[in-house]
Amino acid sequence: MISTFVTSSLNKAGWPDSNLPEIVVVGRSNVGKSSFINALTGKKKLAYVGSTPGKTRMINFFDIDSTWMLVDVPGYGYAKMSKEMIVKMGNMMDEYFNERSQISCVIQLVDARHEPTKDDKEMIQMMKELNYPIIIVATKVDKIPKTKRIKALKEISQSLQLPLKTIYGVSSTERIGFDEVFAKIQEYI
């Protein structure tokens, strides 16, 4: 897989002039979106990973094999973000999700260790209303003992009222679960 950074945008004017299908990675701040993109592409420093939440502030586009784009967006639910910033980012995301016609799938990340949050559920609802197919990925499974991972995924599937087989567990640090997610992505590009 050949992956390259294309551009970062703050608004429509900054979106790449391209018709490639886009797969967007969404989720709470710090859930591991940028790490997921790096692990999926096998490039350690493609997307910026921060030790503190709120690191990704723009919409970042990555070209994959000149065939599709992977899109990294800012996380939601970061308590320390200023109100002004929350509004700015909300508008930026609304514009993208409402007007970018080639969005072909949304990858919703949730933390494997916790029940999906109210924000997670609202995000999923919003994506459903926009008619985007959604892939649910539970991150950081390395932080759960191996014997308890299935149970954690089951709890997420129950909480979201989605079949267990539609929830993918991954670890970006241990590189677990990416082949399965990649195969699923292929269905949408």
Ligand X SMILES: Nc1nc2c(ncn2[C@@H]2O[C@H](COP(=O)(O)OP(=O)(O)OP(=O)(O)O)[C@@H](O)[C@H]2O)c(=O)[nH]1
Q: Does 157 bind ligand X (CB under 6 A)?
A: no
Q: Does 60 bind ligand X (CB under 6 A)?
A: no
Q: Which residues bind Mg ion (CB under 5 A)?
A: 33-34, 55-56
Radius of gyration of the chain (CA): 15
Closest CA to 134 of 159, 114, 154, 160: 160
Q: Judged by CB under 6 A, which stretch of 15-23, 33-41, 119-127, 154-162 contacts ligand X?
A: 33-41
**Residue 98 partner contact from ligand X, Mg ion, none using kind-dependent CB cut-offs of 5 to 8 Å:** none
How far, CA to CA in Å, does 153 sit from each of 30, 80, 169? Answer: 19, 29, 7
**Residue 3 partner contact from ligand X, Mg ion, none using kind-dependent CB cut-offs of 5 to 8 Å:** none
Q: 23 near 70, Cβ under 8 Å?
A: yes
Tell me how far, at minimum, the Cβ of 126 lies from ligand X, in Å.
17
Q: Does 77 bind ligand X (CB under 6 A)?
A: no
Nearer of residues 30 and 66 to ligand X, judged by Cβ:
30
Closest CA to 8 of 43, 47, 51: 47
How far, CA to CA in Å, does 106 sit from each of 44, 149, 151? Answer: 22, 23, 24
Binding site for ligand X (CB under 6 A): 27, 29-35, 49-51, 53-56, 74-75, 139-140, 142-143, 171-173
